[in-house]
Copies of this chain bind each other. A is one copy, B any other.
Amino acid sequence: MGESRVEPELRRILSNVASGKIPVERAVKLLSTGFDDLGFAKVDLQRAWRHGHPEVILCEGKTTDHIVAIAKSLAEQHTNILATRASAEVFDAIRSVLPDSVYHELARIVVVRPESTERREGILVVSGGTSDIPVAEEAAVTAECMGNEVDRMYDVGVAGLHRLLSQLERLRKARVIVAVAGMEGALPSVVAGLVDCPVIAVPTSVGYGAHFNGLASLLAMLNSCASGVAVVNINNGFGAGYIASQINRLGTGK
């Protein structure tokens, strides 16, 4: 599957060179070293070849100048570029040089050169509580940008099971579920006990005291008594949306 990605990508690049959309010098870099060396960053130009999606910019910890420069480098070649954990200030800076950008505020994601694509159904994002929504949205928006239709089901935590049990049909229709929860982190276990598809669990830092900023939820999810659960880092909605998209792509010929 991986290898078959190379040829169409190569065709896409060369067509873009032919039409002038990708400059010749850029194509040289892309096809020789495979990265764009900015000094402070070596932008991975072959990520889409190897991985099915261009390099994503994690904004936390980077200066705004660096973020913008990396975004510009990627935008020479790609669409639907994601910049995650982006503040409103970062968005303004990106937009000033790359006007074709949109900001998903709740998810804190900037999408540079957004492009609609056909969307695969199959991903469901559930959250335990209202406070978990920013992380859930990070997952949902990521998956949408990668070509998925996302169903959202929020505030269905285990303290009021009837809210979840009333949605069995939607749960069972999913091909892959992202389950986001803080506090005791029980939601992925309960969900995985009800369905037969893979569940990607996202612990959040919603809680206090002996929650230790997400540790309690993380440990609970790693120790799920239900089979079919795998876990990403605390608050890592992006990572969950990404792998959910990879899973959802399987068997669709894409």
Contacts and interface: CB of A to CB of B under 8 A. Distances in A.
A239 B229 contact: yes
Interface stretch (A11-19, A20-28, A107-115, A214-222): A214-222
Contacts of A148: none
Contact of A51 (B154, B196, B208): B196
Contacts of A235: 208-209
A200 B129 CA distance: 24
A119 interface: no
Interface residues of A, number: 108
A209 B236 CA distance: 8
Given A35-B163, A169-B3, A175-B1, A242 B228 contact: yes
Interface of A: 1-3, 5, 33-35, 39-42, 44, 46-47, 50-53, 55-56, 58, 60-62, 66, 70, 128-131, 133, 154-163, 166, 169, 171-176, 182-186, 189-190, 192-198, 200, 203, 205-236, 238-240, 242-243, 246-248, 250-252
